[in-house]
Amino acid sequence: MDACNNQLSVGIDNFRFNVSLFNYEYGKQEQFYLKGVIRVDFTLINLEGEKKYMVNMNLSVCFEQAAADCLISLQIFEDFKLTKLFCDWNSGFRIPDFSLDSYVNSLGLPSGTTLSGFLLDQLLEATGLAAYLLDVPCSHSSSPFAAASSSNGWNDGNLFY
C-alpha cells in the first residue's frame, strides 16, 4: 500500500499489478482481475487515528465474471492492520531535471511544438500528472463558470446554495 502515490500493489510470484486509489472510496469493496482469471476483492478502511489501514482481501480463481463460477476462493487478509509509511514530500519531481523541450525533442519533434491528443496523454502519464486531472475537465460554458464570465470572471458563490 503506497499512501503517498495512492496506489495498491498486488504481487503473485513475478507478476505485479498496481491499482490506483485516487478515486477509491474507503470502506467500499472493489475488485479487479489479474490476467482475467484471478479476481481480487478488497476493502480498505482508513484508520486516521491509528495511522493505519485495515485491509480485507480475497483471491478467487474465476473463469467467468459471475461469482458462482469461481472455483477457489481464499481469504488473504481479514481486518489486517497495515501501518502507514511516512511520505517523503521533498523527493522532488518524478523525472529529475525534466525539460519539456528535451522531452519533445526525444519524440523527434522540434522544440516549442504544442503537444495534444495521444502525445499529451503520454506526457501526463510519464510525469505522473494524469491521475490528478479530471476525466471530464471543467467547461467555462457550464455552471458555475458561465455566470462568472458576466461578472469579470467572478461569481458570488450563490450558485452553490
Q: What is the pLDDT of residues 122-142, one digit of tens each?
A: 888 888 787 777 667 777 677
Q: 135 with 67, same domain?
A: no
Quick check: 160 pLDDT over 60? no
pTM above 0.75, yes or no: no
DSSP string, 53-104: EEEEEEEEEESSSSGGGEEEEEEEEEEEEEEPPPP-TTS--SSTT--HHHHH
Q: Do 113 and 75 belong together in one domain?
A: no
Give the distance from CA 105 to its chain's centroid.
29
Query: HSE-up of 88 (CA within 13 Å, CB side)?
Result: 5
Number of domain units in the chain:
2
Helix, strand or coil for residue 33?
strand
Provide the percentage of residues in the chain whose pLDDT is more than 90.
Answer: 16
Residues 62 and 126 in one domain: no
Residues 21 and 69 in one domain: yes
Whether 16 is covered by a domain: the verdict is yes
Identify whether residues 56 and 112 lie together within a single domain.
no
Question: Do residue 62 and residue 115 come from a single domain?
Answer: no
The pLDDT tens digits of the residues spanning 89-125 come to 777 777 788 889 988 999 899 988 998 888 988 888 8
* Residue 95 falls inside a structural domain: no
C-alpha cell at 139: 467547461
44 lies in some domain: yes
Q: Classify 118 as helix, strand or coil.
A: helix
Residue 11: phi and psi, rounded to 5, are -135, 135
Query: What pLDDT is stored for residue 161 in this prediction?
Result: 45
Domain that holds residue 111: 100-149
Does residue 75 lie within any of the structural domains?
Answer: yes
| Each residue's pLDDT tens digit, 47-85 | 988 888 999 999 999 887 666 678 899 999 999 998 888
**Does 24 share its domain with 55?**
yes
Residue 148 pLDDT grade (very low, low, confident, very high; cuts 50, 70, 90): low
Average pLDDT estimate for 40-50: 89
CA distance 133 to 153: 22
